[in-house]
Amino acid sequence: MSSELPATLSSTPAAESRPSANSVEWQKLLTHFEWNEGFTFVILLLPDAEGAALRRQALERFLASSGKQIQLITFASPDELKHLAGRLLELSVPPATSAIWVEAVVPEFAADYQVWREAWREAVARLNQFRNPLRERFNVPLLFVGAPWLQSVLHDAAPDLWSVRTTVVPIEPEASPWRDYLASWPERADASSKAWDENAPDAELALQAAASLRGKPGDEIKLAEMLTRAGAGLIARSVNLEAEKVLLEALALLGRHKADSPEQAEAFHQLGRAQIALSDYEPANRNLEQALRLYRKAGNIWGEANCIEKFGDIALRRSHHDEAQSRYAEALPLYRRVGNIVGEANCILSLGDIALRRSQHDEAQSRYAEALPLFRRVGNVLGEANCIACLGDIALQRSQHDEARARYAEALPLYRRVGDVLGEANCIWGLGNVALERNDFTETQSKFEQCLKLYRQVGHLHNEAECLTGFGDLAAKQAKTEEARAYYEQALATFEQLQALDWIGKTHQRLARLSKGDLAAQAHVAAARAAYEQAGLTKLLNELDEEFALK
Partner 1 sequence: MAQLAEERQLLKGIYQRLKDEPLEPGSELYQPVYEMPGSDDPVKRLKKGIEFSEVESVQMFSGFRGSGKTTELKRLKKQLEDEDYFVIYGDALKYLNPAEPVEITDLLIVLAGAFSDALTEARSDIHIEKESYWVRLRNYLTDTNIEISEVNLKTEADSIAKELIGGIKAGVDVKLALHTSPSFRQNLQKFMANRISELKGQVDKFVEDGVKAIRRSYGEQKQIVFIFDSLEQLRGSLANEKAVIDSVMRLFANYSNLLELPYVHCVYTVPPWLKFAMPGATNTVMLPSLRQWNNDDARSLYLTGWDALRNLLKRRVGVANCDHVFGLPDAQGHHAAADRLIGLCGGHFRDLLLLVRECVLRAENLPMDERYINAAIINARSQLLPLSIESVRWLHRIEQTRTPALPDDSPESVSRMTRFIDTHLVLYLTNGEEWYDVHPLIRNEIGTMIARHGLTDESVEQ
Q: Which residues bind partner 1 (CB under 8 A)?
A: 9-10, 14, 24, 27-28, 31-32, 34-38, 40, 121, 125-126, 128-129, 132, 151-152, 155-157, 159-160, 162-168, 170, 217-218, 220
d(CA 390, CA 405): 12
- Least Cβ distance, residue 16 to partner 1 (angstroms): 11
Query: Based on CB atoms, which residue is closest to partner 1, 28 or 377?
Result: 28
Query: Based on CB atoms, which residue is closest to partner 1, 157 or 421?
Result: 157
Query: Based on CB atoms, which residue is closest to partner 1, 142 or 492?
Result: 142
Query: Based on CB atoms, which residue is closest to partner 1, 158 or 315?
Result: 158
- Least Cβ distance, residue 87 to partner 1 (angstroms): 16
Query: Based on CB atoms, which residue is closest to partner 1, 33 or 281?
Result: 33
d(CA 230, CA 191): 15
Yes or no: say if 244 and 271 are a contact pair by the CB < 8 Å rule.
Answer: yes
- Least Cβ distance, residue 168 to partner 1 (angstroms): 5
- Least Cβ distance, residue 333 to partner 1 (angstroms): 40
Yes or no: say if 420 and 238 are a contact pair by the CB < 8 Å rule.
Answer: yes
Q: Helix 538-547 and helix 519-535: axis angle, to 10°? A: 160
- Least Cβ distance, residue 69 to partner 1 (angstroms): 22
Query: Based on CB atoms, which residue is closest to partner 1, 24 or 329?
Result: 24
- Contacts (Cβ under 8 Å, ≥6 apart) of 540: 359, 502, 505, 506, 532
Write phi, then psi, for 169 (nearest 5 degrees): -115, 100
Yes or no: say if 462 and 317 are a contact pair by the CB < 8 Å rule.
Answer: yes
Give the N- to C-terminal CA distance of the chain in Å, as an integer: 64
Nearest to 344 by CA among 357, 355, 334, 352: 334
- Least Cβ distance, residue 39 to partner 1 (angstroms): 9
Query: Based on CB atoms, which residue is closest to partner 1, 122 or 473?
Result: 122
Helix (H, G, I), strand (E, B) or coil at 317: helix
Helix ranges (DSSP H) in 94-149: 113-128, 131-137
- Contacts (Cβ under 8 Å, ≥6 apart) of 101: 56, 59, 70, 71, 72, 73, 143, 145
Nearest to 426 by CA among 351, 318, 353: 353
Nearest to 418 by CA among 197, 166, 114, 192: 197
d(CA 430, CA 428): 5
Yes or no: say if 70 and 99 are a contact pair by the CB < 8 Å rule.
Answer: yes
Burial of 399 (0-12, 13-18, 19+ CB in 10 A): exposed
Which residue type, as a one-letter code, is found at position 288? L
Whole-angstrom CA distances from 158 to 83, 90, 115, 153 are: 15, 20, 18, 8
Query: Based on CB atoms, which residue is closest to partner 1, 126 or 361?
Result: 126
- Least Cβ distance, residue 37 to partner 1 (angstroms): 6
- Least Cβ distance, residue 220 to partner 1 (angstroms): 8
- Contacts (Cβ under 8 Å, ≥6 apart) of 311: 285, 288, 327
- Least Cβ distance, residue 255 to partner 1 (angstroms): 14
Give the DSSP letter string of 209-275.
Answer: HHHHHTT-TT-HHHHHHHHHHHHHHHHHTT-HHHHHHHHHHHHHHHHHHSTTSHHHHHHHHHHHHHH
d(CA 102, CA 142): 8
- Least Cβ distance, residue 31 to partner 1 (angstroms): 5
- In degrees, rounded to 5, the angle at the alpha carbon of residue 313 between the alpha carbons of residues 311 and 315 is 70
- Least Cβ distance, residue 24 to partner 1 (angstroms): 6
Query: Based on CB atoms, which residue is closest to partner 1, 172 or 403?
Result: 172
Query: Based on CB atoms, which residue is closest to partner 1, 9 or 341?
Result: 9
d(CA 527, CA 195): 40
Query: Based on CB atoms, which residue is closest to partner 1, 13 or 67?
Result: 13
- Least Cβ distance, residue 144 to partner 1 (angstroms): 14
- Least Cβ distance, residue 155 to partner 1 (angstroms): 5
Query: Based on CB atoms, which residue is closest to partner 1, 125 or 324?
Result: 125
- Least Cβ distance, residue 520 to partner 1 (angstroms): 58
d(CA 386, CA 358): 18
Query: Based on CB atoms, which residue is closest to partner 1, 149 or 441?
Result: 149
Query: Based on CB atoms, which residue is closest to partner 1, 162 or 532?
Result: 162
